[in-house]
A and B are shown apart, each in its own frame.
Chain A
Amino acid sequence: MEAFAYVAPSSIDEAVAELARHAKKGHRTQVLAGGTDLLVQMRGADIEPRILVDIKNVAETNRLHLGNNEIFIGAAIPSAVLNENAELVELLPGLLEAADLIGSTQIQGRATLGGNLCNASPAGDTIPAMIAVGVSCVIAGGKGQREMPVEKFVVGVGRNALEAGEFLVGLKIPRPKSRAADAYLRFTPRTEMDIAVAGCGVSVTLDAKGLCKEARVAIGAVAPTAILVPAAANALIGTTLDDAALAAAAAACSDAASPITDKRGTIDFRRKVVGVLCRRATAIARDRALARKVLGV
């Protein structure tokens, strides 16, 4: 290909047709959401011409729905818009906290959760938070739509499970029950505008007596992809989320990590910190769940 092209389809079918049409001609296509990763990459690491398929005019990718059982977040919605929705922030404080950590106000005016996920950086902040709340990815392609649990979506550094001609339409999330809550924490040397050295997302559901009956724990920036840590969740389930349970979950996260040493942190440091983040994030999620009103009878 010699030159760039830009298309902005206005429906899922049109977007899928555009992706297929250009793929058939052997042209490289790339989906554009907020562009906060993509445009930076086009300036430096990857300047090859390609067809940019902007999905922001597709109605479904702009849809935000807070249903009784399920929440849907379209793939084109920037995180600043999500964080202005008080009900969403109340329901999923951890996920929205992670979105609020991405870049600056300006970056959040554009950056999407879907872009953070598809970009598949090991340090992508929202990915562990999405795994913790059990996001299901809604994917459209030539053969129709399919869904995939978010923990299977990222398959390697910078690689996701989308096949040629597919794109991410949005995220489905089970609506947290009355005594459930999530939290996300990351460690960075600076407080703003920095990349995670380690991150941890946690969601917990308590029963009427305050015992943890469901939990999901995910860690980021300490392995090639963010990962679900079932051993950490198992250490929490059936407990009151007391100090002993938190310590056991923290140890499970440290064990599950396979970090690298770089200028941002050593292997030993990352292993230790990811455990600390797990312990603290679990305590935050627990306190949020306890503070939540018990709805219904």
Chain B
Amino acid sequence: MNKIQVITSINHEEVEFLCEPQETLLDVLRDTLGRTGTKEGCATGDCGACSVLVDDRLVCSCLVLAAETGGREITTIEGIATEEGLHPIQQKFLDHAALQCGVCTPGLIIATKSLLDRHPDPDETTIRYWLAGNLCRCTGYDKIVRAVQDVARDLAGPA
């Protein structure tokens, strides 16, 4: 057997797993660790459903080998809400009905978090380009963009 032992941190919790050399982070998250919040749409980098943060960098987990993640800090959708409740981004997606089937939603929320961490006050063009790698087949992008704009407004605080 060729299994590789990996110790990493997922949502600030130390996690240890065994993986095949060619297995992706997405495979391990979903199939080995049962964290199915991160979705698989295409497995080829096109849809963004599998978006996670690795050391605060937005990536497609379908294009990262699990074996590469030793010693990293991984943030998945399961790490977004807090004890107190939903993250503001999650709440705004609900408020604006920015989801229908929900397959794209975990990826969009992670991508939005990474956007707002870097650009707290993005204009619409910045939002649309940043999220261009997150495909949604049901909702249409307008409601999603409105939700993101609304979170950004709230995070900026009262004018």
A residues at B contact (CB < 8 Å): 3-6, 8, 32, 34-36, 39-40, 42-44, 49, 52, 54, 56, 78, 80, 103-107, 109-110, 192-193
Residue contacts A-B, CB under 8 angstroms, 17 given: A3-B2, A3-B20, A3-B21, A5-B21, A6-B68, A39-B63, A39-B64, A52-B65, A56-B68, A104-B134, A105-B58, A106-B111, A107-B45, A107-B60, A107-B63, A107-B133, A193-B46
* Inter-chain contacts of A54 with B (CB < 8 A): 65, 67-68
Assess whether A106 is in contact with B65, with CB atoms less than 8 Å apart: no
Is B57 located at the chain interface by the 8 A CB criterion?
Answer: yes
Known: A8-B68, A40-B63. A104 touches B48 (CB 8 A): yes
The A/B interface has a contact count, at CB < 8 Å, of: 91
Is B81 located at the chain interface by the 8 A CB criterion?
Answer: no
- Cα–Cα distance between A40 and B45 once the two chains are bound (Å): 8
Known: A6-B65, A80-B57, A109-B58. A104 touches B133 (CB 8 A): yes
Assess whether B129 is in contact with A42, with CB atoms less than 8 Å apart: no
Give the residue name and chain of the A residue nearest to B130 (CB): A105
Give the residue name and chain of the A residue nearest to B68 (CB): A54
Assess whether B64 is in contact with A43, with CB atoms less than 8 Å apart: no
One of A39, A105, A192 near B65 (C-beta < 8 A): A39
* Inter-chain contacts of B67 with A (CB < 8 A): 6, 8, 54
Is B114 located at the chain interface by the 8 A CB criterion?
Answer: yes
Q: Which applies to chain B's interface (DSSP): helix, strand, loop or mixed?
A: mixed
Chain B nearest CB: distance from A38 CB in Å? 9
Assess whether B68 is in contact with A36, with CB atoms less than 8 Å apart: no
Assess whether A106 is in contact with B21, with CB atoms less than 8 Å apart: no
* Inter-chain contacts of A6 with B (CB < 8 A): 4, 21-22, 65, 67-68
Interface residues of B, count at CB 8 A: 32
Beyond A105-B130, A107-B133: 16 further Cβ-contacts under 8 Å? A5-B2, A6-B67, A8-B67, A8-B68, A36-B63, A39-B45, A39-B64, A49-B22, A52-B21, A78-B57, A103-B45, A104-B48, A104-B134, A105-B114, A106-B58, A109-B58
Chain B nearest CB: distance from A240 CB in Å? 34
* Inter-chain contacts of A106 with B (CB < 8 A): 45, 48, 51, 58-60, 63, 111, 133
Chain B nearest CB: distance from A149 CB in Å? 30
Is B132 located at the chain interface by the 8 A CB criterion?
Answer: yes
* Inter-chain contacts of B63 with A (CB < 8 A): 34-36, 39-40, 106-107, 110
Is B80 located at the chain interface by the 8 A CB criterion?
Answer: no
Give the residue name and chain of the A residue nearest to B2 (CB): A3
- Cα–Cα distance between A72 and B108 once the two chains are bound (Å): 35
* Inter-chain contacts of A3 with B (CB < 8 A): 2, 20-21
- Cα–Cα distance between A56 and B59 once the two chains are bound (Å): 16
Assess whether A43 is in contact with B44, with CB atoms less than 8 Å apart: yes
